[in-house]
Chain A
């Protein structure tokens, strides 16, 4: 197979970027999209040119490092598949593939296809956990969790934090990502006692990071490599609504402390 890869090249956050076209021949249909970039980079290096920078690590769709838009779609045309697992057999030989980084205000570009997703870490930092220190846990079977609840929690917990949901959303919203963690922890009995505070803190942080608001468009779930359902956004909204009444003083009084440390943005 052969392709033309039209790739966004940008040396750094402060420099201007542009698309550059690279022809690529002798592509085998079993190759993954990232392996195509590997092959391209090998030829660029031999020619003394700078290879295309892109984030990747596990190459089995679980670490969440990789991701870019292919012809405008986050992670490309296959459902529930990250670009590291997207094989070329899903494209037609001769096609032009436009490859560009996630574009969202909350994900500043670092180089080529690499963006800064630390805003996701800061959302988790604001409350995406159960406050149990090492050594405090009761026996694993002390609290029973019905299989249906455990399965529901797991459906939300599978999020890999890749950022495709944000990139696909016309508003650049992180509602699916944030909702997935709020749902995962809120469904489980272990996470119940911090449910209100968690929703207030995490949603507050999400808003402070310049993610857009959710308007229920649903592009996020369409591109999510783990197929996380829009239901988690409903759960987040419900938890936030409950909490904003029950914890109204707290809501008025403070901004989440993590906000002040958010100094990376230009």
Chain B
């Protein structure tokens, strides 16, 4: 199979203009004749639904939560990047492009990333006009702060709740279209399969989570904006409901899955406290602007932090990376935390933690300024740990936070199935092997507000859509597949709960395909995952019935998909024998223990195709070409 990324020819600065000019348009009168489906209502899904509704398309938007406003984008804290250069500190579209591509360790497409940087400035304008209450300077202009992986201040924020405010902006724009009658919002409904007819994506099979009814929804194109798959690891910063089912079922219908092993581990989360724990809580990376990270110099030092004198503390990031210090990218910060903990210099009861200390910042700026910047994060920390971060340092530890991998898409955000588009975290497109802070919100909104409204129009204008009937054989077969798999889960009646399987799966993946990876551990993991999956299908217990609100059944279906995805992640990680971004292969490191990329052999996107459960997937490589930036070894020293 050949993969064509459809990148416009010519200079990168003009690529998006050229692509838009080359696109065919749907006339205003014809737009309402086209039906579209959007799965997911986070930043990408809500902004896409709102924008396409405004254009006049006839659209259905699905979410599994009770309201589109619950989507997990809401939990993003720190901010959103844009190359506005308001602080006059040397930023530009080109610099944001450079930082994002370099931060992603040169494993993303130049043209996509450049377009993202270009569009970033429009996003801020749009959100301000919607009433997003961004932080302001006293004079009334927009405030900025700096973030990991960048030396300019280009991050816009609304306290520590930027994701919430951006999502509510998109949600309100979506509700405006519901009011206008262009968008039908279908909450508490989960996509369980993709309908493909004559090679085109033509709809979905969905389950109503209240009464269990399966329904068929036909459309001219399907847009997936269903988020990432961090919950494979069981413990992650994702919401409990976040899942891979929509993209995984699309994969099984023929969409290629790109770079599944590229997952991001966030350095600043609250450490795990016990077995019952259901999720990990992130503390915004913006904390690293004013907090200093340290551990004791001495091994096994169990003194309380206030008893450890200054000269016995190791500010290891400042020591090893003098120019970026505490603001090194996430993967570097996480790996270093793991390393000092492996050296038995970790802090807290479990020894899996490092200090994030604000005492210098508080004495320099005063408690009020720090409260203004991070007040809600400090409160959250105190609420969970019962410790006051104004008085002593926080304890933090890395946790799974974001997945850069996802369904393969071309420059038009179209997957390998014609008519199936994928946006936001669900696709693989812009962050390469590591995402910079404050770039997820930017990408979700760029895809939804400013890219998909053009590219889906081009698809609709250049294709023909045969009439589709629900009773058609292909559709009935798809519905039957879904029904059989639900019945199967309910009929096993084994002895082990879904959560217990999920926890066991998460442990395997975290240990073998987490912060560091080796060929040997990955090989073992693939075997372990298969064995556990077999046990799952023989011994899982799912109570209740299929025609009722059954949260246990919902979870079982999602975990069944995580099993298959986890295996693919390990296969991908095994195949990529280099270290890049969040993917650190112990076999590939420099003498100083830094990640060693191998451009000669691995400068490509690994796109995997489904060939049956248990069958080895088929690898197709999309070579990455760099015409504007020369891939350099990342250095934050």
Contacts and interface: CB of A to CB of B under 8 A. Distances in A.
B239 A59 contact: yes
Interface in B133-156: 133-142
9 contacts: A31-B274, A57-B240, A59-B281, A62-B164, A87-B386, A132-B130, A134-B50, A144-B140, A158-B161
A262 interface: no
A46 B541 contact: yes
B141 A49 contact: no
Interface string A50-84: 11010111111111110000000000001011000
Q: Is the interface of A mostly helix, strand, loop or mixed?
A: loop
Contacts of A188: 131, 133
A86 to B, nearest CB: 9
Interface string A2-39: 00000000011000000000000000101110110011
A81 B175 contact: no
A125 to B, nearest CB: 4
Contacts of A129: 130-131, 172-173, 175-176
B129 A132 contact: yes
Interface string A107-121: 000110010111011
A235 B128 CA distance: 22
A51 B543 contact: yes
A139 B125 contact: yes
Interface stretch (A147-155, A168-176, A241-249): A147-155
Given A63-B70, A140-B124, A141-B86, A146 B138 contact: yes
A99 to B, nearest CB: 16
Nearest to B84: A140
A204 interface: no
A216 interface: no
Interface in B44-59: 47, 50-51, 54
Given A57-B240, A124-B171, A134-B54, A45 B543 contact: yes
Interface residue tally of chain A, by bracket? 35 or more
A131 interface: yes
Interface string A124-138: 111111111111111
B9 interface: no
A89 to B, nearest CB: 7
Contact of B165 (A124, A133, A136, A157): A157
Nearest to B159: A154
Interface string B71-91: 110110000000010100000
A184 B132 CA distance: 9
Given A50-B543, A58-B74, A153 B133 contact: yes
A114 B130 CA distance: 31
B617 to A, nearest CB: 31
Interface string B178-192: 110000010100000
A41 B541 CA distance: 13
- Residue picked from A137, A138, A188, A258, most chain B C-beta under 10 Å: A137
Given A51-B551, A56-B240, A138 B129 contact: yes
B384 interface: yes
A134 B126 contact: yes
Contacts of A133: 51, 54
B65 A57 contact: yes
B125 A138 contact: yes
A130 B380 CA distance: 31
B147 to A, nearest CB: 18
B129 A121 contact: no
Contact of B187 (A62, A118, A146): A118
A81 B544 CA distance: 32
Contacts of A143: 128
B172 A59 contact: no
B245 to A, nearest CB: 15
B260 to A, nearest CB: 24
Contact of B383 (A87, A139, A140): A87
A139 B129 CA distance: 9
B41 to A, nearest CB: 11
The 4 A-B residue pairs with the shortest CB-CB distance, nearest first, are: A144-B140, A129-B172, A137-B129, A137-B125
A53 B139 CA distance: 49
Contacts of B128: 137, 140, 143, 190
B369 interface: no
A49 B173 CA distance: 42
Contacts, number: 220
Interface centre among B274, B279, B384, B386 (most CB of A within 10 A): B279
B273 interface: yes
B312 interface: no
A145 B136 contact: yes
Contacts of B84: 140
B251 to A, nearest CB: 24
B552 A136 contact: no
A42 interface: yes
B21 interface: no
A232 to B, nearest CB: 14
A46 B495 contact: yes
Given A62-B75, A135-B450, 16 more contacts: A12-B549, A31-B276, A59-B278, A87-B383, A111-B549, A121-B178, A125-B178, A129-B130, A133-B54, A134-B453, A135-B126, A137-B128, A141-B141, A144-B139, A147-B138, A157-B133
A130 B126 CA distance: 11
A53 B51 CA distance: 35
A160 B185 CA distance: 19
A218 interface: no
A59 B273 contact: no
A121 B175 contact: yes
Given A114-B549, A154-B158, A28 B276 contact: yes
A69 to B, nearest CB: 18
Contacts of A146: 136, 138, 140
A62 B67 contact: no
Contact of B70 (A65, A158, A190): A65
A62 B135 CA distance: 19
B497 interface: yes
Contacts of A154: 133, 158-159, 165
Given A46-B495, A87-B384, A125-B178, A110 B549 contact: yes
B449 interface: yes
A121 B185 contact: yes
A57 B129 contact: no
A57 B185 contact: no
B298 interface: no
B431 interface: no
Contacts of A229: none
Nearest to B135: A150
Interface string B236-265: 000111000000000000000000000000
Interface in B72-118: 72, 74-75, 84, 86
B75 A63 contact: yes
A220 B329 CA distance: 42
A199 B589 CA distance: 61
Nearest to A153: B133
B240 A59 contact: yes
A137 B158 CA distance: 19
Contacts of A63: 65, 70-72, 74-75, 239
Given A53-B551, A121-B185, A140-B128, A64 B274 contact: no
Nearest to B126: A137
